[in-house]
Amino acid sequence: MKWTGRYKEYHAAAFRKDLISGLIVGIIAIPLGMAFAIASGVKPESGIYTTIIAGILISLLGGSRFQIGGPTGAFIPILFAIVLQYGYENLLIAGFLAGIILVLMGVFKLGALIKFIPRPVTIGFTAGIAVIIFSGQIANFLGLSEIKKHENFIPNMKELVTHVESINIYSVVTASICLAAVLLTPKFLPKIPGSLVGLVASSVIAALFFKGHVATIGSSFGAIPSTLPHFHFPDITWDRLYTLIHPALIIAMLGGIESLLSAVVADGMTGTRHNSNRELIGQGIANIVTPLFGGIPATGAIARTATNIKHGAASPLSGIIHGIVVFLVLILFAPYASNIPLASMAPILMLVAWNMSERKEFAHILKTKTSDAFVLLISFLLTVLTNLTTAVEVGLTLSVLLFVKRMSELLTVAKVLPDSTDKHEKVKAYMVNEGHDCPQISMFTLAGPLFFGTATILENSIMDAIYLRPKILLLRMSKVPYMDTTGESKLARLVKDFEKLGGIVLISGIQLQPLEVFKKTRLYSLVGEDHFFEHTGEAIDYALTQLDLHKCAGCKHFVFRECKSMSQH
């Protein structure tokens, strides 16, 4: 039997591949789901519920055939801050609102806009999040006691220094066993998930030899229930909406970025193309439904998606199977999960942080020593020292300002004249000098975008020529790809000032976008339709017919080939 659409040419062999990849990714997702939930300040079962519900819905409704959705490390600092500031119930509402925002973003086809967030900003805040996750697990790795959790990085570091004397050697040994297993398993047992081996091995050893000496999920959060929670619609009020809309926007923005980045990675690995707007809608629906069952915000998980593809996934069914696998494990083995030490979770999250840190890309951008490196550092430091919201806002603002500055340096305005030695008599800037210039025709080549950042350059460059009162001002605009209303306004003022002095403005070679701006404003009619020319030669021919021949008499500049005959009249 063959299917169409996302299941095009689907058959029994493809189902077997989906079954294997779904099983493997499901097993990997279980410890990660619990670990991400704990690090986010909520109970471990919330991570499991998210993995099941969001995982199935994202695969079922999203725009990527291979996307694996669920809780991710990128959300940890944001969710933890929301839980500390507003509480768990309000986190669910923020996640619900974020889901609605994501759906609206997809419906209004805003998926492409997220791709315009500069790479240095995303690398900067991703590396910052990695530092927060890694540092946040030091206390569990060392088994420190009486640690108070803070929203900001520096107070949390002070807590570690203050309580460093309370190191629990049993926790360190447990964490080290898990870390060793996670690192060595890929070398000796490449087909078995290292995180699962590390979790099981360290948990068994801790239960046999260190029972009662290390904190476990059960001792810290209570037993994990072996059923899904009941449906519960949160109590949403106008006050809560007003308070939580900002956190919801941050969740939606980061969720959108992460999911589309993951989908792009999947495209690169498989040669397929995802539908970014459908992906946002799928992510949104998943985040609307998941909080109704006690789950936390979810997005596309890059590492799990890559694992899914590497193990032969053929369709979205592998993601659905991954959710079902997690659900079956919850039903059958939830009581055993309560015995997992927190110290066993720490190295798994530390490796997640290490892998998501983008350290090579970070170093590569830093080595460029450009404005991008500056934006990267600022985004990174602000993520670590303040919060993600500030980091992204400042990073984006800096990127825009630096972009405008770079673009403003691209516009050049040069006075030009024909080169008589050139076969085609092309106009060149070096032909203009004190003894070789036309008193009646001022000709300028504009090259680069003409917008608010460059409009003043245009004004300053041409103003002097206007006050010399030439008869003709010829603007060559074939190299102006873009013009905004600020550029149009400056140009309109030049035209008006020049025409008040009795001059004529000619424009040659104008591109489509600037021409559209001309036509949508009064500038097109102000210049005059018959003063627009496709080629500079045509404009020069017209300009020569408009000259005052009395002023040409006796002129020795001989700028144009017609000048000799005109100067003799």
Please provide the DSSP assignment of 216-258 as one string: BHHHHH-PPPSSPPPP------HHHHHHHHHHHHHHHHHHHHH
Question: Which residue in 84, 125, 361, 63 sits closest to 253, CA to CA?
Answer: 125
Q: Tens digit of pLDDT for each residue in 319-345?
A: 999 999 999 999 998 888 899 999 999
Please state, in angstroms and as integers, the Cα–Cα distance from residue 455 to each residue in 407, 451, 482, 494, 498, following that order. Answer: 11, 6, 12, 11, 17
pLDDT-based confidence at residue 3 (cuts at 50, 70, 90): very low
Question: Which residue in 79, 513, 5, 483 sits closest to 275, CA to CA?
Answer: 5
Last residue of a domain, one of 371, 401, 431: 401
Residue 434: pLDDT above 80?
no
377 and 430, same structural domain?
Answer: no
Residue 535: pLDDT above 60?
yes
446 and 335, same structural domain?
Answer: no
In sequence order, what are the residues at sequence separation of 6 or more whose Cβ sits closer than 8 angstroms to the Cβ of residue 276? 63, 111, 112, 114, 115, 260, 263
Q: Which residues pair with 270 in a beta bridge?
A: none
Q: Tens digit of pLDDT for each residue in 536-557?
A: 999 999 999 998 888 887 787 7
pLDDT score, position 113: 78
pLDDT score, position 5: 55
The count of structural domains within the chain is: 2
Is residue 542 within 8 Å of residue 533, measured between CB atoms?
yes
Q: Tens digit of pLDDT for each residue in 261-290?
A: 889 889 988 888 899 999 999 999 999 999
Which H/E stretch holds residue 538?
Answer: helix 536-545
pLDDT (mean) for 27-55? 94
Instruction: State the CB neighbour count (10 A cutoff) for residue 359.
Output: 13
SS3 421: coil
pLDDT-based confidence at residue 1 (cuts at 50, 70, 90): very low
Q: How many CA atoms lie within 13 A of 1 on its CB side?
A: 4
How far apart CA 111 and CA 471 sit, in angstroms, is 52
Question: Which residue in 309, 225, 179 sits closest to 48, CA to CA?
Answer: 225
In sequence order, what are the residues at sequence separation of 6 or more whose Cβ sits closer than 8 angstroms to the Cβ of residue 158? none
> Percent of the chain having pLDDT more than 90?
65
SS3 274: coil
How far apart CA 485 and CA 455 sit, in angstroms, is 10
Q: Tens digit of pLDDT for each residue in 194-245?
A: 888 999 999 999 999 998 899 999 999 988 888 888 888 988 899 999 999 9
423 and 397, same structural domain?
Answer: no
353 and 243, same structural domain?
Answer: yes
383 and 479, same structural domain?
Answer: no
Which CATH number characterizes residue 511's domain? 3.30.750.24
Please state, in angstroms and as integers, the Cα–Cα distance from residue 476 to each residue in 442, 512, 533, 545, following that order. Answer: 11, 14, 9, 18
39 and 172, same structural domain?
Answer: yes
How far apart CA 482 and CA 26 sit, in angstroms, is 50
Instruction: State the CB neighbour count (10 A cutoff) for residue 402.
Output: 17
pLDDT score, position 4: 41
Question: Which residue in 126, 103, 122, 124 sits closest to 114, CA to CA?
Answer: 122
- 1 within a domain of the structure (yes/no): no
In sequence order, what are the residues at sequence separation of 6 or more whose Cβ sits closer than 8 angstroms to the Cβ of residue 410? 447, 448, 449, 454
Q: What is the 3-state secondary structure (H, E, C) of 432-497?
A: CECCECCCCEEEEEEECCECCCCHHHHHHHHHHHHHCCCCEEEEEEEECCCECHHHHHHHHHHHHH
143 and 63, same structural domain?
Answer: yes
Domain of 432? 412-567
How far apart CA 428 and CA 421 sit, in angstroms, is 11
367 and 253, same structural domain?
Answer: yes
397 and 425, same structural domain?
Answer: no
99 and 217, same structural domain?
Answer: yes
432 and 391, same structural domain?
Answer: no
475 and 342, same structural domain?
Answer: no
- 79 within a domain of the structure (yes/no): yes
Confidence (pTM): 0.81
- 3 within a domain of the structure (yes/no): no
